[in-house]
Amino acid sequence: MVLAVSAVVAAGALTTGAFVVGSHNPAVTVVSGYAHVGDGVASAFADGSWYGIPMDVAWLGTDGSWRQDGTPACMAWTGTPRDVTIKFGWVPITYPAGSGQRQVVWVSCAG
């Protein structure tokens, strides 16, 4: 019983730690904006830039639960394209030739 409780506490601490590191890491820029959600695709506009939102990304649900992958609930396909308010974190990616992009690494459905 003690081992099971310890495992649950450790898992909770790891999940919380991952969110804190991902959301408070100086390499991660956090922005808010509207995501346009379609069938298997999503993009967001924030701070004058467009971002492609991966449909399999770490995300924080409106219930406060952190998930390491999958489609964020607020971005699930409902049969109709729509806009949702989200908060997300991105990191700069630089390619060998010098060009780059902003890669979204997590999404918060709490907006």
| Per-residue pLDDT reduced to its tens digit, 21-53 | 444 667 999 999 999 999 999 999 998 999 999
Write down the pLDDT at residue 24: 60
Q: Identify the residue whose tokens are 């967001």.
A: 44
Number of domains observed in the structure of the chain: 1
Domain of residue 102, residue span: 2-108
pTM, full prediction:
0.72
Q: In angstroms, rounded to a whole number, what is the distance separating the alpha carbons of residues 47 and 35?
A: 13
Give the H/E segment covering residue 63: none
Q: Identify the residue whose tokens are 């406060």.
A: 64
Of the pLDDT bands very low, low, confident and very high (cuts 50, 70, 90), residue 9 is very low
The candidate with the shortest Cα–Cα distance to 62, out of 19, 13, 12, 111, is 111
